[in-house]
Amino acid sequence: MGMDRQIEKKKWPPKKIVTVAAAGLFVVVMLYLFLFQFSKSTLNVEADRITVSTVERGPFLEYIPVIGNVMPIQRFFLETLEGGRVSKIFLEAGTMVKKGNPILQLENNDLLLNILWRESDFIQQSNQLRQTRLSMEQYRAQLQERMNGIENELAKQKSNYERSTKLYKDQLISDFDYEKIKLDYEYQVRNHDIAVDSQKKELEYREEQLHSLEDQIKRMESNLVLAKQKLEDLYIRAPISGQLTSLNADIGQFIAPGTKFGQIDVLDAFNVRVPIDEHYITRVEAKKAGTFDLAGKTYRLVVRKVFPEVKENKFEVDMDFVGDPPPDIRRGQTLHIKLELGDLSEAILLPNGGFWEATGGNWVFVLDATGKVATRRPIRCGRYNPQFYEVLEGLKPGEKVITSSYESFGDMERLVLK
């Protein structure tokens, strides 16, 4: 009887074992990496410690908040034309003044001495002018007397020559006598002409000297008037009626020429002076509008003038009230203004929040439909105001975004709200 032969089970070939082992190891490794990566990029956060905002579509107005100060439209700075030491102060800052009221008086000894010297020189030159005029009249009289003698002698010679001419024609006088009379007459004619020409030139020269001295006296007189006007300028009066809002002067204080030492404001009308960060200097121009709220009512302003000079990183603009200003508005009052930089337009709006510091508006955490998981998503923003950012790409109206600070989220890609 034959024995049954035991059939041995075939073992897996080594090649198959290696393949299965490699596949298993790959699965284990991938599962580990997935779990590791998932745990690394996911963070659990407390829902009550974050702010969730809803993306909306609505009207968007780009504006910046600025603070303006109410100022009178018409302001006059008191300035010294002449320097001097304060000797009298007639009014105090804060008082109402009328045009022409004295404000303060300066004294300037150098100016007084200069005026005295000018007056003395003017008197001296005036006396010299009178003396020159007198000498001129005396000289005219002398010339006239001399000319009378020359003309008289010429008349005699002419009469003698005319008689001799008739006698000579009748052959009643000799050739010698006639020739002598003729030569004497011709000499007297030449002498008369020379005297007339000489006196004319001498008179012209003396009259020119006299006119020059008269012009000099006129200039001295004008300079003296101006010098006395400078003396009058030391007595400073109010150029307009209004309120003397500032006066920086003390008895004995020296004030240099051109120094602004006070200000008078006309309180009939006001505007608003607004300092603005230099970052916006290219975007703020005349006719830009702004609004502010006061006592439950909104008022509108418009930019009238832009001052381009930048001081301490700010430039200034003057804004006028559109329509009637608020009642009982006063100088120095502070107004919180929304200065509009663009026109009102429709846009996708993302509420402002602390997330911007970490992302610069380049990405945000967006919640899914469950509202429990937020995923990082790239976005692109445009304009902004203190309330909203304008979203250009990456978000749709109705989506919910975490807008509070991302400081504690690190490099997480996913947030789970607890």
Are the C-beta atoms of residues 80 and 106 closer than 8 Å to each other?
yes
Are the C-beta atoms of residues 294 and 135 closer than 8 Å to each other?
no
pLDDT of residue 7: 47
pLDDT of residue 32: 43
Q: Count CB atoms within 10 A of the CB of residue 247.
A: 19
Are the C-beta atoms of residues 416 and 45 closer than 8 Å to each other?
yes
Backbone angles phi, psi at 399, to 5 degrees: -70, 150
State the pTM of this model: 0.53
What SS3 state is found at 249?
coil
Are the C-beta atoms of residues 299 and 321 closer than 8 Å to each other?
yes
Cα gap 188→203, rounded to integer Å: 22
Are the C-beta atoms of residues 224 and 124 closer than 8 Å to each other?
no
Low-confidence ranges of the chain (pLDDT < 70): 1-40
What SS3 state is found at 113?
helix
Backbone angles phi, psi at 248, to 5 degrees: -105, 80
Domain 267-340, CATH: 2.40.30.170
Domain 43-60+345-417, CATH: 2.40.420.20
